[in-house]
Amino acid sequence: MRVSGFLPLFSVAASFFNVIDARAVFAHYLVYILFFSSGIEDANIMVPQVGTITDAHALQDINDAIAMNLDAFALNVADPSASYVAPALSSLFSHAKDRGFKLFLSMDLSAKGGGALSDYDYILNDYATAGAWFAGPNGKPMVSTFSAAAYTPADFQTWRASNDVYFMPDFDGTAGYYDAADAWWTAWGGVVDGLFSWESTWPNVGATNDGDLTLDTTVLAGAVAHGKSYMIGLSLLQYKDAYSTNIYRRGELTIAKRMENILQMNPAPLYVEIQTWGHYIGNLWTEANSDAQPAVYATQRGASHTGIQPLLTQFISAFKNLKTSFPASTSPVGAIWYKTILQSTTCPDNSLGGFYSAPSGASVGSDTINWAVVLPTNGASYTIQFVSNGAVAGSVAGKAGFQYGVVNLSANQQFMKIVDAAGTVQYSTGLGRCVSATCWDDIYNYNPQVLGLEQGDHSSVGCWQMTQQARAANGATDGPFYPSGI
């Protein structure tokens, strides 16, 4: 329930919170559209569709996050007065408190559309002392942002004077940020307790520097020099073809290399934020968004990304336990990811442009099975094999801990298996969509299939593919309609 507007502005003593001075990993959680898709929170657009979320689905999201060893959701809220925000927050905070999970506010100032920063104060008043808000190292409730939008340092100083928080915003659109410039710190340093970088998470459009940390390293060094903390981003890829935005920022080995590189950072970031629960590693609830365009490439049945979760759990454990590399796992953990059209594919409506054209950055995509695994201490006794179109496309000797790579693929089925010294398949990936030279979706779909390892040999399940009739009736990636038998 919203606290009365006659209550004093939010302020709370640090002693109320359990002081947290340890590494933690969060997932960005879109409240303002409640649709966990890749990059729909684009800074230059206003999303026209909004949705809701059922109480049961809010609970499932939290349970799934706990199973992954996540510490909190960063709740992305654009217009805090929108009708769907309060019910969503009520469900999320209620279940978070019951389950011992944490949440914190991320003010989406780019999508807010102006107005006062104090519009968010009721969320702090209602929930910051209710037992489920994540506290920063100083024991104060953590608050972040998506961008600074048009707000000035003075605006934030005024807001902070009435809100005693641990402020870790994304201000990476401001001049001098990625240079850690003295002028930037003079203007903004007094506003922040820590920094969070968003755009450094992926290669730029058209770039191929997967997993590069150069920008983060500069900003982190500046933060440390000024006694501030740092939160670094992690994401599978950035692909979106909706809301007048059509781009691809490489996802081939971005997440694998970035996980490895983050563990080796010295000095290290205090926090990691997975962008997002969202980009997407979690559930895609049908009640949360009814827009047709993103549903062409992002659906739970047709393009689930939950197969990446066990691999992320291995990373989360390593990061939170101050490891500089992945420890050996208890049993093989891993995933493959690949897009379902070939680089040579031409879509029939390409001439219409916009939604139907190839995304900016498509030229740096590749026809590859992209993979990462974590193996047990006896990892050297395993062989990692890759099957494409029924033939062995590659084979890699296993080793204890983390390894990753790419294997060139052909059309049809894509498959990874973990084979022991006796030649027995111990783990393998399961049913995924076929790769095709045909543009079944009418768009250049660069959203990957993500297939996690499962115990046993699943090579007989083949792959699934749309038919023209099924596409017309059900939408592009609505799910596996039949195994192809390939």
What 3-state class would DSSP assign to 16? helix
Q: Check: CB of residue 149 under 8 Å from CB of residue 109.
A: yes
Each residue of 15-66: pLDDT tens digit? 333 444 599 999 999 885 533 333 333 333 333 344 578 899 999 999 999 9
Which has more pLDDT, 295 or 455?
455
Q: Check: CB of residue 269 under 8 Å from CB of residue 25.
A: no
**Any idea how long the chain is?**
486
Gap between the Cα atoms of 382 and 360, Å rounded: 39
pLDDT at residue 12 is higher than 50: no
**What is the widest separation between alpha-carbon atoms in the chain?**
72
| Mean pLDDT confidence for 95-103 | 98
Which has more pLDDT, 285 or 249?
249
Gap between the Cα atoms of 204 and 199, Å rounded: 8
Gap between the Cα atoms of 439 and 354, Å rounded: 16
Gap between the Cα atoms of 157 and 448, Å rounded: 42
Beta-carbon count within 10 A of 186 CB: 11
Beta-carbon count within 10 A of 392 CB: 12
The H or E element that residue 272 is part of is strand 271-274
Indicate left, alpha or beta for 409 from its phi (over 0: left) and psi (-120 to 50: alpha).
Answer: beta
Instruction: Please give the pLDDT value at position 75.
Output: 95
Tell me the pLDDT of the chain averaged across its residues. 88
pLDDT at residue 471 is higher than 70: no
Each residue of 312-336: pLDDT tens digit? 999 999 999 999 999 999 999 999 9
The H or E element that residue 246 is part of is strand 245-249
Gap between the Cα atoms of 148 and 156, Å rounded: 9
Gap between the Cα atoms of 365 and 256, Å rounded: 16
Gap between the Cα atoms of 183 and 168, Å rounded: 19
* Centroid of chain to Cα 407: 24
Which has more pLDDT, 400 or 289?
400
pTM: 0.90
Neighbouring-strand partners of residue 427: 418, 455
Phi, psi for residue 365 in degrees, rounded to 5: -70, 165
Q: Check: CB of residue 320 under 8 Å from CB of residue 357.
A: no
Gap between the Cα atoms of 402 and 253, Å rounded: 13
Kindly list the structural domains of the chain, giving each domain's residue range(s) and its CATH number in brackets, ordered by start.
Answer: 15-296 (3.20.20.80), 333-474 (no CATH)
Contacts of 3 (CB under 8 A, 6+ apart): 122, 125, 126
pLDDT at residue 146 is higher than 60: yes
Ranges 197-201, 289-293, 378-382, 461-465: which has the least confidence: 289-293
| Mean pLDDT confidence for 468-478 | 46
pLDDT at residue 285 is higher than 80: yes
417 to 313, 329, 354: CA distances (angstroms): 20, 17, 39
Instruction: Please give the pLDDT value at position 51.
Output: 59
Instruction: Please give the pLDDT value at position 294.
Output: 85
Looking at the chain, the whole-number percentage of residues with pLDDT higher than 70 is 86
Please identify which residue in the block is written with the tokens 């192809």.
Answer: 484
